[in-house]
Amino acid sequence: MSAPTPRPGILDISPYVGGLSKLDGVDRIIKLSSNEGALGPSPRAVAAFQAMAGQMHRYPDGHAVALRAAIARQFGLDAARVVCGNGSDELLQLLARCYAGPGDEVLYSRHAFIVYPIAALSAGATPVAADEVDLTASVDHLLAKVSPRTRVVFLTNPNNPTGTYLPAAEVRRLRDGLPADVLLVIDAAYAEYVERNDYSNGAELVEAGENTVMTRTFSKIYGLGGMRVGWAYCPAQVADVLNRTRGPFNVSNAGLAAAQAALEDVAFTDLARRHNSFWRAWLAERLSALGLLVVPGVANFLLVRFPYQAGRSAKEADAFLRGKGIIVRQVASYGLPDYLRITIGRDDEVRAVAGALAEFMESQA
Ligand SMILES: *Cc1c(COP(=O)(O)O)cnc(C)c1O
């Protein structure tokens, strides 16, 4: 009765559930549940991390000057408008909170990353989901959901957990159709994996106006999920807002060093991309041959639909895989109960999940 109560909306949040990483009684697991880079980090990133051991007592550079300069150099961007975060998650949360509040709406597509509704509710705003077409964000459906109360639109491109993407022309059509005072946030966490010539990470839209932000992460192709480093490329005014509200020392000194080394090891990133493209195609072909529907994804995972049939369902497939020490991701919380999301791992891991699913599909129901 007299206990503190959180603001309205906070207790409507379902806490984010990450991919499992342990199974009781299994020593050696194959973890394909969190889209972590298959090859892990570059050896140069590991060396940079270790070299920081003697600096644990020192605060990091709160302005991430060296990392922002490296990012700007590598991608041809303006360093003054790059803001680093404690994972891109910190930046996504801040953008929702700084640009939306009670009475406002935050819009995204139906099967987009689940962090957006969490960020919207944390801000006291109302999350709004627009329908998709073929598990792909639809510009028409998104624009139809825009109201005078819409403040922020999140677009994951390519999307997690579907793996589908919008071509650059469609993203531009979305931007052009939104009111100028609505912030469009393009979450390009998987941009480095995409090998399609009609795709763009959205940097050109950031530079074209005052109202579009692109976010990126070191957690996926760079293999640094445990380091918590992400960044945003922003219009100057949005960079200013993020710099006022972020944690003053939001990225650790080891994280800054590891991220810069990972970024500069271009050959390793190229290898990771080639590995991913090869094994994603390989796995898609194997699973399709088993009669499973594989959503044509362009990131480092595949979304796979299982038959709606006793003995063959996604839930049973997941249980079967766990019995073999293989952890993939159930996506029922994304409204996709008939699907599993499988991260592309190392060669042996991809072969193992393909073999186990062949056994599952061929076993008697
Ligand atoms: C993994 C992922 C991120 C990255 O989050 P970090 O906080 O940078 O680790 C962001 N957006 C999407 C859609 C993701 O799947």
Locate the domains of the chain by residue range: 18-40+267-363, 43-264
- The phi, psi pair for 308, rounded to 5°, reads -85, 80
pLDDT surpasses 60 at 365: no
Tens of pLDDT, residues 82-116? 999 999 999 999 999 999 999 999 999 999 999 99
Q: Give the neighbor-by-neighbor strand order of the sheet with 329-330.
A: 293-294, 301-305, 339-343, 329-330
Nearest to 121 by CA among 105, 144, 145, 137: 105
Q: Is the CB of 87 under 6 A from ligand 1?
A: yes
Q: How many CB atoms lie within 10 A of CB 223?
A: 23
Question: What is the predicted pLDDT for the residue at 22?
Answer: 76
The angle subtended at Cα 316 by Cα 312 and Cα 321, nearest 5°, is 110
Is pLDDT of 25 > 80?
A: no
Sign of torsion over alpha carbons 27, 30, 33, 37: positive
Same fold, 18-40+267-363 and 43-264: no
Residue 26 clears pLDDT 80, i.e. is over it: no
Q: What does the pLDDT look like over 49-89, one tens digit per residue?
A: 999 999 999 999 999 999 999 999 999 999 999 999 999 99
Higher pLDDT, 228 or 7: 228
DSSP secondary structure code for residue 356 in this structure:
H
| Residue 305 CA, ligand 1 centroid: distance in Å | 23
CATH of domain 18-40+267-363: 3.90.1150.10
Question: Locate tokens 């991919």: which residue?
Answer: 19
% of the chain with per-residue pLDDT over 70: 99
**What pLDDT is recorded for position 364?**
56
User: How many angstroms is it from 99 CA to the middle of ligand 1?
Assistant: 20
> Of the CATH numbers 3.30.930.10, 3.10.580.10, 3.40.640.10, 3.90.1720.10, which one belongs to the domain with range 43-264?
3.40.640.10
User: pLDDT band at residue 20, thresholds of 50, 70 and 90?
Assistant: confident
Ligand 1 atom showing the smallest separation from residue 225 Cα: 9
Mean pLDDT across the chain, nearest whole number? 96
pLDDT at 35: 97
Please return the burial class of 9, using the count of CB atoms within 10 Å of its CB with bins 0-12, 13-18 and 19+. middle
